[in-house]
Amino acid sequence: MSLTLTQRLSLVFAVLLLVCCATSAWMQVRSSQMHELEVVQGLSRNLAQHIAHDTVLMDANGLMPDAVRDLFSKLMQVNPSVEVYLLDTEGRIAGSAAPEGRIRREQVDLAPIQRLLKGDALPILGDDPRSADGRKVFSAAPLQVNGKPAGYLYVVLLSEEYDRLAERGATSAALNTALLSIGLTALLCLIAGLTAFALITRPLRRLTETVSQFDIDGVPVPPPASAPIEKAASHDEIAVLDATFRQMQSRLSEQWRSLTRQDQERRELVANISHDLRTPLASLHGYLETLSLKDATLSPADRRRYLGIALDQSRKVGGLAQSLLELVRLEHGFVQPVLERFSLTDLVQDIFQKFELTAEARQVELKASFAANVSAACADLGLIERVLTNLFDNALRHTPQGGEIELSLRPLGPFVEVTVSDTGSGIAPELREGLFLRPFNIGGARRDGGLGLRIVHRILQLHGREIQLIDIHGRGASFRFSLAVDEQTASAMAVRSINLNTPGQA
């Protein structure tokens, strides 16, 4: 039979309560009996002494049977609850008024008699002559003849008649009342105990229900509306356990969703990279195959054109492979920023020189806008150069002829704000979600296999900064980020980024 924890606790409590009540009832009955024996023996303690003092039961010739029988009969008629016996100096029964065959002992132990005569604490139980092993309260007095010990007068204070009356009264109203009171007390204690167990185990039942409903793929199960949420600082161990489990549940669910999302993004990335590699590789293979099969019939101009196209496709494949390798190194923590102070204006000039010829060929104007008080930045020079290179490369490929690309720098407290914007087609609102985390298309054309902006996002994450896509009136795609201007701020942001973005963490 399967029982819940509350049921098992209640069952054990009920059994213990029953045992305690039975023990209490037995002790109460036993205490009452001992008290009654003490009272009876205390009241009649000197009874035997008075009888021995006032009555001559023995003379120089020994026992006086007629006197003994006559005295014992009168006493037992006056007080049926007593039985009187005459003992010799060895404790043997020398005379009594008991009917024939009722005496079960021939000798009475004298040790209890000596204790009574010395005045020991009551009750003191002595041998019952009418029982083989029974013991009862008694009164006793020594007998002397001519100044010499002749025996003892032994009076049993609770006779056989008393025992029969006591047995018939075992189901008396007093006893029934006592048993009923004990039963009611046990019932009230049981109800109180079961209520207490239910209250104590209620948080544990809620925790059990929460654990059983835990779904790592879903949202953490909220606590019942009718149950208050215990604070984690509570001294209640179950409440602390419940709060700790909910924190763990929330963290596990968040990490699981993050891992699921990252796995999905990686799948999409692999699929898109495969798609982007397929086109240049197919083109490269086609032109190389053409050169191999028609080498003898191709003119030098065609041969050079085919080789040029093959080299261009090869460079695209190499660029994608290099970007993918760089992204893997960034996302798995193989690259850490080396902070140094450098002039952003000088870096921007180097970037302009790098793209100057390409911009002229595409008839795109490069513009720079610097505030007068722009400070030097503190970051990894090589990584920030990679950020600006990727942003400019994307902007150039998506800015039409006659357009322009503008880079502006302006101070923003302890940071320098960098904005790169173009006059291209921009990015539609439906494509902006996850822009820096997954590949995307603009007009059927992919921006650097979706890797460029992802690399930019990861590099800035390593510096503790974020890149944003913003809307500027009259411009296409506009990207903005900031860099720290002092080493202390830059170091703090980088350390914080490492703690929050350790690979494998949510």
Q: What CATH number is attached to the domain comprising 52?
A: 3.30.450.20
Mean pLDDT along residues 388-416: 91
Overall number of domains in the chain: 3
End of a domain among 140, 171, 202?
A: 171
Structure tokens at 101: 């065959």
The pLDDT assigned to 340 comes to: 92
pLDDT of residue 438: 57
Asked if residue 426 belongs to a domain, the reply is yes
C-alpha–C-alpha distance, residues 84 and 106, integer Å: 14
Task: Identify whether 177 is part of a domain.
Answer: no
Q: Is residue 506 part of a domain?
A: no
The answer on 412 and 369 residing in a single domain is yes
Residues 65, 467: Cα–Cα separation, whole Å: 127
pTM above 0.85, yes or no: no
Share the mean pLDDT of the chain: 80
Our measurement of the distance from residue 237's CA atom to the centroid of its chain's CA atoms, rounded to an integer in Å, reads 8
Please indicate, yes or no, whether residues 411 and 460 belong to a single structural domain of this protein.
Answer: yes
Does pLDDT of 76 surpass 80?
no
CA 87/CA 458 separation, integer angstroms: 113
* Spatial separation of the C-alpha atoms in residues 175 and 167, rounded to whole Å: 12
| Residue 184 pLDDT > 70 | yes
Question: How far is it, in rounded angstroms, from Cα 186 to Cα 483?
Answer: 76
Domain boundary at 106, 138, 171, which? 171
Q: What is the DSSP string of 365-429?
A: EEEEEE-TTPPPEEE-HHHHHHHHHHHHHHHHHTS-TT-EEEEEEEEETTEEEEEEEESS----G
Number of alpha carbons in the 13 Å side-chain half-sphere of residue 2: 0
Residue 397 shares a structural domain with residue 495: yes
Q: Rounded to whole angstroms, how far apart are CA atoms 367 and 139? A: 128
210 found inside a domain: no
Final residue of a structural domain among 294, 327, 360: 327
Same domain, 118 and 144: yes
Straight-line distance from the first to the last Cα atom of the chain, in angstroms, rounded to the nearest whole number: 44
Q: Tell me, what CATH number does 310's domain have? A: 1.10.287.130
CATH assignment at residue 382: 3.30.565.10
Predicted pLDDT at 234: 55
| pLDDT value of residue 506 | 34
Residue 423 and residue 293 in one domain: no
Q: Let me know whether 275 and 310 are in one domain.
A: yes
How confident is the model at residue 169, as a pLDDT?
56
345 and 318 both lie in a single domain: no
Tokens of 310: 């093959």
Residue 185 lies in a domain: no
Identify whether 202 is part of a domain. Answer: no
Specify the pLDDT at position 385: 93
Give the Cα separation of 242 and 206 in Å (integer).
9
Whether residues 264 and 356 fall in one domain: no
> Residue 212: what pLDDT?
76
Say yes or no: 160 and 271 in one domain.
no
Residue 323 shares a structural domain with residue 371: no
The domain of 269 spans 260-327
Q: Does 352 lie in the same domain as 321?
A: no
pLDDT digits (tens, 9 = 90+) for 95-131: 777 777 788 888 999 999 999 999 899 899 999 998 8
Question: 85: how many CB neighbours lie within 10 A of its CB?
Answer: 25
Same domain flag for 288 and 155: no
The CA–CA distances, whole Å, from 25 to 16, 17, 279 equal 14, 12, 96
Q: Is the pLDDT of residue 162 over 70?
A: yes
pLDDT attached to residue 431: 75
* 36 found inside a domain: no
CB under 8 Å to 363, separation ≥6 — which residues? Answer: 401, 402
311 in any annotated domain: yes
